[in-house]
Amino acid sequence: MSAECSSYLNVDKVLVSGFSCPRTGGDARAVYCCGFQDVKYCCDDPHSFFPYEHSYMWWLSVGALVGLSIAAVVLFAFIITVCVLCYLFISTKPRSKLDTGLSLQMAGKTSC
């Protein structure tokens, strides 16, 4: 079994001629053409060819970083809000103790 990787223009816009998989001297299990439109290689997974340019993956990475950054800022703001609310709750409690009506005396002591 073998696959043909057609010729393509790489990232530097240089024409790379087509080749067949597996390549001579390469892994015998790498019988599929994998990669992107501008980066092709032989591999052993038949579902690893993506019909768009490799730079598309960088946009996915940037999008993921932006999303994670926004989530981190929201989480940080939530934590700060909780801390401020806890501080306000503790600091606004009345400092005087309530009178329970019970006097604290040592038991067993009698006055004569």
What pLDDT is recorded for position 101? 66
Sign of the dihedral defined by the CA atoms of residues 60, 64, 66, 67, in that order: positive
Residue-wise pLDDT for 5-59, tens only, equals 889 888 788 898 989 888 888 888 888 988 888 888 898 888 777 766 666 566 6
Residue 80 lies in a domain: yes
Residue 18 lies in a domain: yes
Range of the domain at 14: 2-41
44 Cβ contact list (under 8 Å, min separation 6): 27, 29, 30, 31, 32
pTM exceeds 0.85 for this model? no
Q: What is the number of domains present in the chain?
A: 2
Residue 96 lies in a domain: no
Residue 16 lies in a domain: yes
Q: What is the mean pLDDT of residues 53-80?
A: 81
Question: Does 57 lie in the same domain as 31?
Answer: no
Residue 98 lies in a domain: no
Residue 106 lies in a domain: no
What pLDDT is recorded for position 9? 87
Local confidence band at 110 (pLDDT 50, 70, 90 cut-offs): low
